């Protein structure tokens, strides 16, 4: 269903096909950087690979692609202000609240068909709860994914992140989200840190002990981003004592990754499809056929039953991070695969700016002879040229600055917070230059 779907205090908001977009509701490193989301993500030395011992773990993309600028304006404002401070990300919207009834706004892809409440699984999915009172409790149900659980949520209160995350373990429970606030109007936002490999969470309702009450939500942002990729950009193992560590729900934190940081910097609502172990033409696991183009149409990453309605969240820009996994196949497969997928995206979002990004982890150094960075850069330029020949001039290619030693210390040689901040700064600059933000 749509991204900002509104769910009333009693029910769960909209849509039947699933989401709530905004619903008021390539190298050794690479091989790890794309950590699989699938069970066989068993780590390799590349950032994505080990990533997800769950089915989507990317494998190849964990290596920075230093070769710079395969894309037409890749140099544009790269160093913009995308500080790693993910806390800005949850800042309440400026201006008056929605004029509608009291409701919770859900931002991200949510299945809003269950009567008990909306379910979300993708990292960076969030709920916005504006209320009058001093505390908030939530009834939540965690269904573990193939990577286990639990789910962790960073909690923002009036734009400031709480010191400890909210931990949601398997089953149904009512938990205090925040308490002891001064009496008055507040906005609380729980934001999901780990990806769907570690489970889906159903929001069964919010209550306000001590006489509090739900209010209309903050105004929705007018800028919208949809960003897709694998473990290189989803905070895989970013909190782990890496690079040799076991990824899990506790050491993954997408709030420290480039997409949420960039979205916060440009003031945009974000739908983030960052799934470990996935590529466009192949996945980390040889038996995993659920590639990113399949994920693109899903409300929940591990469920084929609920198709996403793309009309529910139409982004101003769609950003695709090319994966090192795709550099493992021949150009005769990789290039048509990307070209076809970008055609699909254009069909869903006729007016969106489309960015093809070679990530910082892509490198020509590993695996030997694969030339992952150079081939990915050439592929993105190929797609831009082919789309332009069809009259589509809003597809762009960029190559991020290649990582250097000491920047892939997340589990399985995935990006650390410094490299994520660097990628966020470059992405933010390109978004601002192209969209005038």
Note the pLDDT of residue 17: 46
Residue 97 — pLDDT band, cuts 50, 70, 90? low
CATH class of 28-85+221-435: alpha beta
Q: How many residues does the chain have?
A: 437
Query: Is the confidence at residue 28, as pLDDT, over 90?
Result: no
Q: Is the dihedral of CA 290, 118, 175, 158 positive or negative?
A: positive
Which carries the bigger pLDDT value, residue 222 or residue 62? 222
Which carries the bigger pLDDT value, residue 26 or residue 207? 207
Residue 246 — pLDDT band, cuts 50, 70, 90? very high
Note the pLDDT of residue 61: 38
| Model confidence, pTM | 0.83
Note the pLDDT of residue 94: 47
C-beta separation of 53 from 247 below 8 A: yes
> Could you tell me which of 198, 218, 17, 236 has the C-alpha nearest to residue 106?
218
Note the pLDDT of residue 100: 81
Q: Is the dihedral of CA 312, 89, 230, 177 positive or negative?
A: negative
pLDDT digits (tens, 9 = 90+) for 108-123: 999 999 999 999 999 9
Note the pLDDT of residue 18: 52
Please give the Cα distance from 3 to 108 (Å, whole number): 5
pLDDT digits (tens, 9 = 90+) for 352-393: 999 999 999 999 999 899 999 999 999 999 999 999 999 999
pLDDT digits (tens, 9 = 90+) for 276-332: 999 999 999 999 999 999 999 999 999 999 999 999 999 999 999 999 999 999 999
* Residue 162: Cβ-neighbour burial (10 angstroms; 0-12, 13-18, 19+): middle
Note the pLDDT of residue 239: 98
Query: Is the confidence at residue 181, as pLDDT, over 70?
Result: yes
> Could you tell me which of 88, 263, 259 has the C-alpha nearest to residue 158?
88
* Residue 287: Cβ-neighbour burial (10 angstroms; 0-12, 13-18, 19+): exposed
Note the pLDDT of residue 27: 39
Instruction: Please give, one letter per residue, the 3-state secondary structure of the chain.
Output: CEEEEEECCCCCCCCCCCCEEEEECCCHHHHHHCCCECCCCCCCCCCCCHHHCEECCCCCCCCCCCCCCCCCCCCCCCCCCCCCCHHHHHCCCCCCCCCCCCCEEEEECEECCCCCCCEECCCCCEEEEEEECCCEEEEEEEECECCECCEEEEEEECCEECCCCEEECEEEEEEEEECCCCCCEEEEEEEECCCHHHCEEEEEEEECCCCCEECCCCCCCCEEEEEEECHHHCCCCCCCCCCCCCCCCCCCCHHHCHHHHHHHHHCEEEEEEECCCCCCCCCCCCCCCCCHHHHCCECCCCCCCCECCHHHCCCCEEEEECCHHHHHCCHHHHHHHHHHHHHHHHHHCCCCEEEEEECCCCCCCCCCCCCHHHHHHHHHHHHHHHHHHCCCCCEEEEECCCCCCCCCCEHHHECCHHHHHHHHHHHHHHHHHHHCC
- Peptide bond preceding 243 in cis form (omega within 30 of 0): yes
CATH class of 2-24+93-214: mainly beta
| Token reading at 97 | 């609240």
Q: What is the mean pLDDT of residues 66-95?
A: 37
**Topology agreement, domain 2-24+93-214 and domain 28-85+221-435:** no
Sequence-distant (6+) residues with CB within 8 A of 430 are 73, 74, 76, 77, 78, 355, 396, 398
Note the pLDDT of residue 21: 67
Share of the chain above pLDDT 70, in %: 77
Q: Provide the residue ranges of all domains of the chain, joining segments of one domain with +.
A: 2-24+93-214, 28-85+221-435
pLDDT digits (tens, 9 = 90+) for 139-148: 999 999 999 9
Residue 67 — pLDDT band, cuts 50, 70, 90? very low
Note the pLDDT of residue 96: 58
Largest CA distance in the chain: 66
Tell me the pLDDT of the chain averaged across its residues.
85
Q: What is the mean pLDDT of residues 253-266?
A: 98
| Token reading at 185 | 């109007």
Note the pLDDT of residue 345: 99
Which carries the bigger pLDDT value, residue 8 or residue 341? 341
């Amino acid at each position: 269903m749509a991204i900002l779907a509104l769910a009333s205090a009693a029910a769960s908001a909209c849509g039947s096909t699933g989401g709530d977009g905004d619903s008021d509701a390539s190298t050794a490193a690479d091989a790890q950087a794309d950590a699989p989301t699938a069970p066989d993500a068993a780590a390799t030395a590349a950032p994505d690979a080990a990533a997800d011992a769950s089915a989507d773990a990317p494998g190849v993309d964990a290596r920075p692609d230093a070769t710079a600028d395969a894309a037409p304006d890749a140099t544009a404002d790269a160093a913009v202000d995308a500080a790693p401070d993910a806390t800005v990300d949850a800042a309440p919207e400026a201006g008056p609240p929605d004029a509608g009834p009291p409701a919770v706004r859900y931002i991200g892809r949510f299945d809003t068909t269950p009567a008990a409440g909306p379910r979300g699984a993708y990292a960076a999915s969030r709920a916005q709860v504006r209320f009058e009172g001093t505390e908030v409790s939530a009834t939540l149900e965690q269904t573990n994914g193939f990577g286990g659980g639990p789910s962790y949520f960073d909690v923002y209160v009036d734009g400031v992140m709480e010191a400890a995350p909210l931990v949601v373990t398997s089953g149904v429970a009512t938990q205090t989200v925040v308490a002891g606030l001064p009496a008055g109007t507040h906005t609380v936002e729980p934001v999901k840190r780990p990806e769907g490999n570690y489970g889906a969470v159903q929001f069964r309702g919010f209550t306000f002990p001590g006489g509090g009450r739900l209010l209309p939500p903050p105004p929705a942002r007018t800028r919208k981003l949809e960003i897709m990729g694998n473990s290189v950009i989803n905070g895989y193992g970013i909190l782990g004592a890496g690079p040799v560590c076991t990824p899990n729900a506790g050491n993954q934190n997408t709030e420290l990754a480039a997409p949420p940081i960039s979205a916060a910097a440009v003031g945009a609502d974000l739908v983030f499809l960052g799934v470990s172990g996935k590529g466009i033409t192949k996945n980390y696991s040889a038996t995993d056929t659920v590639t990113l183009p399949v994920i693109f149409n899903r409300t929940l990453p591990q469920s084929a039953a609920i198709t996403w309605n793309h009309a529910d969240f139409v982004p101003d820009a769609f950003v695709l991070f090319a994966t090192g996994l795709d550099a493992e196949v021949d150009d005769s497969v990789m290039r048509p695969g990307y070209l076809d997928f970008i055609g699909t995206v254009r069909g869903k979002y006729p007016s969106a700016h489309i960015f093809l990004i070679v990530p910082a982890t892509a490198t020509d150094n590993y695996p030997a002879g694969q030339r992952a960075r150079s081939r990915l850069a050439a592929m993105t330029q190929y797609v831009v040229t082919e789309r332009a020949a069809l009259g589509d001039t809003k597809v762009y290619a960029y190559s991020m600055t290649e990582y250097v030693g000491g920047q892939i210390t997340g589990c399985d040689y995935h990006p650390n917070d410094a490299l994520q901040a660097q990628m966020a700064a470059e992405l933010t600059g390109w978004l601002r230059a192209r969209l005038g933000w």
